[in-house]
Chain A
Amino acid sequence: MEDRPARSYRDGARAVAALAVAVVGFGVSFGLLARSAGMGWLAPISMSATTFAGSAQFAAASILGAGGTVAAAVAAAVLLNARYGPIGVSVAPWLEGPGWSRFLRAQLVVDESWAVAAEGEGRFDPRILVGAGLTLYVSWVAGTAVGAVGGRALGDPAALGLDAAFPALFLALLLPQLRNRRALLVAFLGAAIALALTPIAPAGVPIVAAAAACLIGVRHS
């Protein structure tokens, strides 16, 4: 891979600064939810530090809280995180260096850090990925700790509209990707697959299945 004029880790942190506030809010709500689901306070914090994937953690905690089995909670969370398989493959060419360093940086890949690091046409900026990923990681773990240990005085994230911050960010990241008709077609297909499967497939599967849209897009080019 050629060296490009380097954007810094700080640029990555800056790119997700606004979102980090929402991530703290969601971390707090995950801590609260996990605690009320009977997970105690240390287990939710440990989960945020090791799993670092909001939707999977919410799914697992809410299944446990509703009296679901361990197997159901684990299966839902793993399915929700299955998309990090193809996402990891997409950033792999841009992560150089020794295996342990690639392994550690791979853990900082979440939807948001991956999306801000995308430069289009399959290119990714590894420094943006790491700067954004670290910022989100600290926000997520700190928020979880506040929610799990602290109280309910922090307000309801839904009342603050924080849940709308995520689709808004993804829309902002999607629009610059739609630079040709093929990308537009694939986006529509991906959205349609995800919506069609939502009522019938377990949580997480619709997003994974939407990745198939890029195969169809190539065939129709």
Chain B
Amino acid sequence: MTEAWIVVIAVGAATVAIKSLGPVLLGGRPLPVALTGVVELLAPALLAALVVTQALATGQSISPDARLVGLAAAGIALWRKTPVLVVIVAAAAATALTRLLV
């Protein structure tokens, strides 16, 4: 078996296990009250982390680039209450245009 297939099988099995853990063990039951307050705040914490890392990080370095122009365009579009489709297209177009010109 090649290295590639070992990686495919190991990563696939681990990911399936990680994703299943909560839903298979806890599925359909409400969380303990002590946990609900924490889980409620998981979305803002992880989404904010995803915004900054996807916009600023390249591997392990923080390297601001044309993605920031796209994120700014998205911010303006969201402020103007445009639909999400337009927000995403605006971000990609602003980033592509910046890369073309700079």
A70 at interface, CB cutoff 8 A: yes
- Prevailing SS type, chain B contact patch: helix
- Give the contact-size bracket for chain A: 35 or more
Q: Which of B5, B21, B55 contacts A167 (CB 8 A)?
A: B55
Residues of A within 8 Å of B25, CB to CB, are 92
A7 at interface, CB cutoff 8 A: no
Q: Are A88 and B37 in contact (CB under 8 A)?
A: no
Q: Are B14 and A78 in contact (CB under 8 A)?
A: yes
Q: Which of B26, B45, B59, B66 contacts A92 (CB 8 A)?
A: B26
**11 further A-B pairs in the complex, CB-CB below 8 A; given A57-B11, A198-B57:** A73-B7, A87-B22, A87-B42, A95-B27, A96-B28, A189-B45, A195-B62, A206-B49, A211-B42, A214-B39, A214-B44
Interface residues of B (CB under 8 A from A): 2-8, 10-12, 14-16, 18-31, 35-57, 59-62, 66-67, 69-71, 73-75, 78, 84-85, 87-97, 99-100
A-B complex: 10 closest residue pairs judged by Cβ atoms: A164-B70, A88-B22, A161-B95, A210-B49, A168-B91, A50-B12, A161-B96, A190-B45, A214-B41, A168-B74
